[in-house]
A and B are shown apart, each in its own frame.
Chain A
């Protein structure tokens, strides 16, 4: 069984701030997923990473496999970044995902 812990649960930021969301998991994995859930409920995949760092626009995801920890960073945050950010990892057997509880981000103008 693989547990996924995210922090913080809620985050409020001013527009332009640098944001960090953290994710820890309990067992070894092949890859970790960062997802964004919009207020309407839809889920968008942001990153899948198994080592190092990935960047897409203002979003950066890093992972430390030895420490079982990943971070999602948002640079120059904007109100349109307001969403729930979810970390998910495969179960120890198989490829189904175990989801974290999510971090609800609100970016104020």
Chain B
């Protein structure tokens, strides 16, 4: 069964450093998402991406965050200057169409120290 692949599975970074979280969505999917889950809390929406542009973003997704689909296969989330409160599990998800179900990646656990 096709999978959404996320790398790395775990990243530790120092506060103020830039991190890039990588995702390879399923190849025929058109809609891409990033969600995050702070330990012990609900999963929260960050951003959705369709047709090579952001279609929606949450209040969390401020100018420290950016997304890119640089080569038609990878979908990346960049945090420019990490804060302690960015520590969370970050999930990439994709779907074939707006009426289809989601496929989630296994997540990247980001720890900011």
B106 A41 Cβ-Cβ under 8 A: yes
Q: Is B102 positioned at the interface, with any CB of A under 8 Å from its CB?
A: yes
> Which residues on the A side are within 8 Å of B91 (C-beta)?
43
Q: Is B104 positioned at the interface, with any CB of A under 8 Å from its CB?
A: yes
With known contacts A96-B33, A99-B42, A99-B43, A45–B101 Cβ distance under 8 A: yes
Q: Nearest CB to that of B109 among chain A residues? A: A41
With known contacts A41-B89, A43-B91, A94-B56, A99–B104 Cβ distance under 8 A: no
Q: Which bucket holds chain A's interface residue count? A: 20 to 34
CB neighbors of B among A81-109 (8 A): 86, 88, 91, 94-102
With known contacts A33-B101, A33-B102, A45-B102, A96–B45 Cβ distance under 8 A: yes
> Which residues on the A side are within 8 Å of B76 (C-beta)?
none
Q: Is B107 positioned at the interface, with any CB of A under 8 Å from its CB?
A: yes
> Which residues on the A side are within 8 Å of B98 (C-beta)?
95
B43 A42 Cβ-Cβ under 8 A: no
With known contacts A33-B102, A45-B102, A86-B43, A95–B89 Cβ distance under 8 A: no
> Which residues on the B side are within 8 Å of A41 (C-beta)?
37, 89, 106-107, 109
B106 A99 Cβ-Cβ under 8 A: no
> Which residues on the A side are within 8 Å of B105 (C-beta)?
42
> Which residues on the A side are within 8 Å of B43 (C-beta)?
43, 86, 88, 97, 99
* A residues neighboring B (CB under 8 Å): 31, 33, 35, 40-45, 48, 86, 88, 91, 94-102
